[in-house]
A = this chain, B = another copy of it.
Amino acid sequence: MFIAMNRFKVMSGSEEAFEQVWKNRDSKLDEMKGFVSFHLLRGSRNEEEGYTLFASHTVWESHEDFMAWTKSQNFRDAHKNAGSNKVLYQGHPQFEGFSVVEGA
């Protein structure tokens, strides 16, 4: 099992617009081999720095399945409009990939 997360620091006031981008997208992840699940997660608000942490959270059967997706037309289609929306971020999205050590 492999978990791919992208962390987004969404500027306070842009949270709803950010959620709408994800709710309105036309995801075809479930056409990909090895795709298990996708969730958009909302973390806590950092009052001091003025952002809310969000994370996309995708579970794949293996790292290889994830890598195959990143090289696919499906991936390019999913990201072709990235950057064109009005959501304001602090910095760039930060990718983190995880492999399972323990647990079931």
Contacts and interface: CB of A to CB of B under 8 A. Distances in A.
Given A3-B41, A41-B3, A57-B3, A22 B96 contact: no
B3 A100 contact: no
Interface of A is mostly: strand
A25 to B, nearest CB: 9
User: So how many copies of this chain end up in the complex?
Assistant: 2
The CB with the most chain B CB atoms within 10 A, among A37, A43, A53, is that of: A43
Nearest to A103: B39
Contact of A54 (B41, B55, B101): B101
8 contacts: A1-B39, A23-B102, A37-B103, A39-B103, A40-B100, A42-B101, A44-B97, A57-B103
